[in-house]
Chains A and B, each alone.
Chain A
Amino acid sequence: MVFSALSEKLQETFRRLRGKGKLGEKDVDEALREVKLALLEADVNFRVVRNFINRVRERAIGQEVMDSLTPGQMVIKIVHQELTKMMGEKAEKLKSSDRPPTVYLLAGLQGAGKTTTAGKLGGLLKNQGRRPLLVAADVYRPAAVKQLEVLGQQLDLPVYSDSGRDPVTIATGGVEKARQTQRDVVIIDTAGRLHVDAELMGELAAIKEAVEPEEILLVVDAMTGQDAVNVARNFHEQLTLTGLILTKLDSDTRGGAALSIREVTGCPIKLIGSGEKLDGIEVFHPERLASRILGMGDVLTLIEKAEANVEAEQAKALFKKIQKDEFTLEDFLDQMRQVQKMGPLDQILGMLPGIKPKQLQGLEFNEKSMKHLEALIQSMTPEERRTPQIINASRRRRIAKGAGRSVQEVNRLLSQFEQSKKMMKQLGKAGKGGLPKLPFW
């Protein structure tokens, strides 16, 4: 869960702060100390953190806050505003050239995820009605060209390669090929390289000069540590980047590198990648991430996903049942099926306000575990499904046997059911209290 530990920490601090009627300089400093620690633990660069804290402190101990009736809230607002500012104020789209083909050049350290991202980006643009060509300009790593070719096949996209040639020739050849074959976007995958490798950095500059890309995108692993600032600064100085793509956001990294890199380069984070599947790429929304860090939940993303996937009527009925305490295991199964359509359960729930990361542990579901879940619930009597409280040890054994699963799995299912009921109730309350309403309540 991205940023989860960080947001948990901050939520705690802010809960304390919220309760305060009057705020002294000491309160502000204490709270900011927590913010600082949280950011450092999240891998935000030391100096970036220091600047950030100074900015917030200056505003927080100013008149604005001290005179306000709810100073705690004001500090939170300032932290949130500054954090959002730091990540770029709004989502930014990839630019298109008015003289096609538009060229996107991907660059980054070894193992950042460039090739996979090239494929994902190709897929994304194809879905938007564009006609991308992938260009394999990593001539160094064994089988890198083959890797892109396989991705091209999976996506049904053409891949240009020219073994034996140098990357600059391949890049220009790719753009030429796109022109001849009416492809309107060219995505150039390049070899991973160290930002201090003068020769290879020179090669990228040469590619840039030869093909004049519309976007030069630095692909960065979200798990990067303190060194992110050095990497980003070097790439930016030598290539003048136009944007960043953050990868591996499906990990549990706190992702502070994103903040550092933003601060150092001033380039917007344009896209984020998560997962190894080729559809795992989406537009980056800075304010959503800031909200999430501050424990307000990524409600906007959730609403979009819910609207796209959940049948509203059904969801509404489900929610009524929860409020009336009529939520049964069958409903639970239904709910799981619905939620599963939106994406991985832990990710979905992680976007909700007020959900602590700890509550999400063990909630990773896939198709197989859905099947097991179904089998277990089907092995129950209708009465058991309606009133799970009656499921005692001997019933548990019978249910397990009937489903061909273990008793532990029955236990886990029942505790997940309780957990889920609790969370849904909690959310119901949140929906009433000022937070944006989700479409189904």
Chain B
Amino acid sequence: MAEGLVARLKTSLDKTRRKLLAPLEEAVRFHKKISPEFYEELEEILITSDVGYATTMLLMEKLKAKVRAEKAEDTAVVQSYLHSIIMQVLSAASPPELDGAEPLALLVVGVNGVGKTTSIAKLTEYYREQGKSGLLVAGDTFRAAAIEQLGIWAERIGVGLISHQAGADPGAVAFDGISAANARKVDVVIFDTAGRLHTKVNLMTELKKVHRVISQNLGARKLVNLLVLDATTGQNALEQARVFHEAIGVDGIILTKIDGTAKGGIVLPIVAELGLPIIWLGIGEQTGDLRRFDPQEFATALLAEDDD
């Protein structure tokens, strides 16, 4: 990775850290001793990070149990307790192997505007840097100029593109895409799809068909279904994950737009309730703005002491 990138990732994570750190530290400093008011403030911090009411209560229960067991009294220790509890939740799901020698087919899905196409550009760049060959498949034949958008990225990064006309059958594009990838012995083929709300039964059926076409023609390839979620989204992201998972089986999640001020706390219920691993973080609009999700780091980023 370029040095500029590392610096950028660091700043971005620092920002995430500060978002949660500031109010938590404030609460720790203000209350000193653990009290119901202190707990209430912690609840507020978690809920305003989109962790959701149910999961917040779950975390708080675990925290209180720990406090009782350790007979803790000072608010200062709570930070590390909460960190390990969050860590525990986030480590419950482990991501699939994505960096092996095995050729891959990545199917990228999600609702409208979450950052599917941009994430595909980032993944393409990621594999290109590893010296792997890539191919993109323009499966969003619905949204105006979606094919052109992916085409521009393919050209910039320097990989091939399989596309049909606007309005074409996405299943047919997928078939051509997987066939071309196998014929050309490409390392990683990535399928873009049209944004679809998980509530649209017809569109979910269409997605299942695309998924079927790819999985029936995989050859020696491993298929990985990636769901893209926008960190700005609230509790609805959990529903999105649930429905997409039911439809095609989600292997991992890309959480985008974490460079904003949204805290992305929704990943906690997603991991806790659905057991889906978070694999990547999107931290900007350029191809380099992709970061591997690390539970340890994420929990730290949410809670830990600012170390610089």
Please list the residues of chain A having a beta carbon within 8 angstroms of any beta carbon in chain B: 1, 37, 40-43, 45-47, 109-113, 115, 140-144, 146-151, 154, 194-196, 221, 223-228, 230-231, 248, 250-254, 256-257, 276, 362, 364, 366, 368
Q: A111-B114, A223-B236 are in contact. Are A195 and B261 (CB under 8 A)?
A: yes
How many angstroms from the CA of A63 to the CA of B200 in the assembled complex?
Answer: 48
Query: Which residues of B (191-224) have their CB < 8 Å from a CB of A?
Result: 197-202
Whether B235 and A41, one on each chain, are in contact in the complex, defined by CB atoms closer than 8 angstroms, is yes
Question: Is residue B94 contacting chain A, with contact meaning CB distance below 8 A?
Answer: no
Q: A45-B48, A143-B148, A225-B266 are in contact. Are A364 and B200 (CB under 8 A)?
A: yes
Question: Is residue B263 contacting chain A, with contact meaning CB distance below 8 A?
Answer: yes
Interfacial chain B residues near A115, Cβ < 8 Å:
144
Interfacial chain B residues near A196, Cβ < 8 Å:
260-261
A149 and chain B: residue at smallest CB distance: B145
Whether A227 and B199, one on each chain, are in contact in the complex, defined by CB atoms closer than 8 angstroms, is no
Whether B199 and A223, one on each chain, are in contact in the complex, defined by CB atoms closer than 8 angstroms, is no
Residue B149 contacts which of A141, A148, A228, A252 (CB distance < 8 angstroms)?
A: A141
What are 15 A-B contacts with C-beta separation under 8 Å?
A46-B47, A46-B48, A111-B114, A142-B148, A142-B149, A147-B143, A151-B144, A195-B261, A196-B260, A226-B48, A226-B50, A231-B232, A251-B111, A251-B236, A276-B142
Query: Which residues of B (113-156) have their CB < 8 Å from a CB of A?
Result: 113-115, 142-146, 148-149, 151-153
Q: State the majority secondary structure of interface residues on A.
A: loop
Size category, B interface = 35 or more
Whether A225 and B232, one on each chain, are in contact in the complex, defined by CB atoms closer than 8 angstroms, is yes
Interfacial chain A residues near B149, Cβ < 8 Å:
141-144, 146-147
Question: Is residue B187 contacting chain A, with contact meaning CB distance below 8 A?
Answer: no
Interfacial chain A residues near B49, Cβ < 8 Å:
226
A220 and chain B: residue at smallest CB distance: B232
Residue A227 contacts which of B143, B235, B262 (CB distance < 8 angstroms)?
A: B262
Interfacial chain A residues near B237, Cβ < 8 Å:
223, 225
Whether B260 and A109, one on each chain, are in contact in the complex, defined by CB atoms closer than 8 angstroms, is yes
Q: How far is the CB of B208 from chain A (nearest CB, A)?
A: 15
Q: How far is the CB of A378 from chain B (nearest CB, A)?
A: 23
Interfacial chain B residues near A150, Cβ < 8 Å:
144-145, 166
Whether A225 and B44, one on each chain, are in contact in the complex, defined by CB atoms closer than 8 angstroms, is no
Whether B235 and A254, one on each chain, are in contact in the complex, defined by CB atoms closer than 8 angstroms, is yes
How many angstroms from the CA of A224 to the CA of B197 in the assembled complex?
Answer: 14
Interfacial chain A residues near B47, Cβ < 8 Å:
40, 46, 226
Query: Which residues of B (146-177) have their CB < 8 Å from a CB of A?
Result: 146, 148-149, 151-153, 166
Whether A252 and B239, one on each chain, are in contact in the complex, defined by CB atoms closer than 8 angstroms, is yes
How many angstroms from the CA of A204 to the CA of B5 in the assembled complex?
Answer: 27
How many angstroms from the CA of A293 to the CA of B24 in the assembled complex?
Answer: 33
Whether A111 and B113, one on each chain, are in contact in the complex, defined by CB atoms closer than 8 angstroms, is yes
How many angstroms from the CA of A366 to the CA of B200 in the assembled complex?
Answer: 11
A255 and chain B: residue at smallest CB distance: B236
- Report B249-267 CB contacts with A as 1/0, cut-off 8 Å: 0000000010111110010
How many angstroms from the CA of A276 to the CA of B166 in the assembled complex?
Answer: 15
Q: How far is the CB of B67 from chain A (nearest CB, A)?
A: 23
Q: Which of B49, B142, B153, B199 lies at the interface centre, i.e. has the most chain A CB atoms within 10 A of its CB?
A: B199
Question: Is residue B233 contacting chain A, with contact meaning CB distance below 8 A?
Answer: yes
Q: How far is the CB of B227 from chain A (nearest CB, A)?
A: 15
Residue A250 contacts which of B142, B166, B197 (CB distance < 8 angstroms)?
A: B197
How many angstroms from the CA of A225 to the CA of B113 in the assembled complex?
Answer: 15
Question: Is residue B275 contacting chain A, with contact meaning CB distance below 8 A?
Answer: no
Whether B234 and A252, one on each chain, are in contact in the complex, defined by CB atoms closer than 8 angstroms, is no
Interfacial chain A residues near B144, Cβ < 8 Å:
115, 146-148, 150-151, 154
A140 and chain B: residue at smallest CB distance: B285
How many angstroms from the CA of A228 to the CA of B115 in the assembled complex?
Answer: 18
Whether A224 and B152, one on each chain, are in contact in the complex, defined by CB atoms closer than 8 angstroms, is no
Whether A256 and B234, one on each chain, are in contact in the complex, defined by CB atoms closer than 8 angstroms, is yes
Whether A366 and B263, one on each chain, are in contact in the complex, defined by CB atoms closer than 8 angstroms, is no
